[in-house]
Amino acid sequence: MKKMILTTLAIAAGVVLTGCGSNSNSSEATDKTTNEQVKIVAVGSTALQPLVDAAKDQFVADEPNYSISVQGGGSGTGLSQVADGAVTIGNSDVFAEEKSGIDADKLVDHKVAVVGMGPVVNKDVGVKEITKSELIDIFTGKITNWKDLGGKDQAIEVINRPEGSGTRATFEKWGLDGATSIKSQEQDSSGTVRQIVSQTPGAISYLAFSYMDDSTVALSLDGVKPTEENVADNSWPIWSYEHMYTNGEPDAGVKKFLDYIVSDDVQKSIVKELGYVPITDMKIERSVDGAVTNN
């Protein structure tokens, strides 16, 4: 009887030890997964850059195993580099289908926000509102002096964005009704554009809402102000989705970061704080060909 009891105790002890060993292995596997290093390089739109930068900083604070680099260069650069497999994510203000030379079929679109854009002018030009027709005439060279719009007797200095810029493509498509801007000084960086407009007499350009501040004047068009609320119902037509493209479906590590950007933690805080419009706030949806439907 005593021998049987000892045998039973030995078996029970073995089961307990086996269970402990199983828990330890499971913990190690979990730790290994948690600590796996994930490197992400996101390149492209300077209009989207502030949002991705801010989200990245907040994300890596809780996920130290992530190394995330965010760079500008323009939407065209982002799309071409992600299509070539040179970067993890291509940030873009425009649909991949709108860029020539890009095989959009192999890219996966992740819409993370909406950005409003609009014309900004030097504070001393004396104009705060124009019509869309007048905006087109300015950027196509038909109106060349602010006095023709009720402002100062001062030559209009157009500051443009380079070819390949998603901001320029959006502005020409929705602000200029597809017209091509005149040849003029071009600047790639939104921050640089803002600085030049603020310091150059007679200057006009265009910026994403996230770059607008009181150093310049944001023009109203046809009585409509450039606000997030007016973008949400398409009353202000100069806006675009902010896309983060991946070459095919993202792996789990990259998807975790993309999911974070569209989470409430980011959409209800960082997105609004930086002047973007949360995807969930949009009352309409606009396709690549411009068709608008209610959400």
Q: What is the DSSP string of 43-107?
A: EE-TTTHHHHHHHHHHHHHH-TTEEEEEEEE-HHHHHHHHHTTSSSEEEESS-GGGSTT--GGGE
pLDDT at 132 over 70: yes
The whole-model pTM stands at 0.77
Mind listing the pLDDT tens digit for each residue in 83-123? 999 999 999 989 999 998 999 999 999 999 999 999 999 99
Q: Mean pLDDT, the chain, as a whole number?
A: 88
pLDDT at 256: 98
pLDDT at 279 over 60: yes
Question: How many Cβ atoms are within 10 Å of 33's Cβ, its own excluded?
Answer: 10
Residue 29 — very low, low, confident or very high, per pLDDT cuts 50/70/90?
very low
Q: Is 2 in a helix, a strand, or coil?
A: helix
Asked if 146 contacts 165 with a C-beta cutoff of 8 angstroms, the reply is: no
Nearest to residue 44, comparing CAs of 190, 197, 256? Answer: 190
Phi, psi (rounded to 5 degrees) for 20: -60, -40
CA dist 249 to 25, 78, 88, 226, Å?
Answer: 31, 17, 11, 35
pLDDT at 167 over 80: yes
Q: How far is it, in rounded angstroms, from Cα 32 to Cα 231?
A: 45
pLDDT at 35 over 80: no
Asked if 241 contacts 114 with a C-beta cutoff of 8 angstroms, the reply is: yes
Tell me, rounded to whole angstroms, the distance of Cα 205 from its chain centroid. Answer: 20
pLDDT at 118: 97
Mean pLDDT of 273-285: 92
Asked if 211 contacts 194 with a C-beta cutoff of 8 angstroms, the reply is: yes
pLDDT at 160: 97
Mean pLDDT of 256-285: 94
pLDDT at 208: 87
pLDDT at 28: 32
Residues in the chain: 295
CA dist 85 to 2, 80, 98, 110, 125, Å?
Answer: 71, 9, 19, 17, 46
pLDDT at 163: 83
Identify which has the larger pLDDT, 15 or 130. 130
pLDDT at 9 over 80: no
pLDDT at 192: 94
pLDDT at 205: 98
pLDDT at 133 over 50: yes
pLDDT at 11 over 90: no
Mind listing the pLDDT tens digit for each residue in 134-166? 999 999 999 999 999 999 999 999 999 998 788
pLDDT at 242: 95
Q: How far is it, in rounded angstroms, from Cα 159 to Cα 249?
A: 38
pLDDT at 17 over 50: no
Beta-bridge partner residues of 221: 130, 224
The dihedral built from the CA positions of residue 183, 176, 48 and 275, taken in this order, carries a sign that is positive
pLDDT at 3 over 80: no
Asked if 134 contacts 145 with a C-beta cutoff of 8 angstroms, the reply is: no
Mind listing the pLDDT tens digit for each residue in 65-87? 999 999 998 899 999 999 999 99
Mean pLDDT of 187-194: 91
pLDDT at 246: 98
Buried b (16+ CB within 10 A) or exposed e, 180-210: ebeeeebbbbbeebbebbbeeebbbbbbbbb
Asked if 76 contacts 99 with a C-beta cutoff of 8 angstroms, the reply is: yes
Mean pLDDT of 172-181: 95
Residue 34 — very low, low, confident or very high, per pLDDT cuts 50/70/90?
low
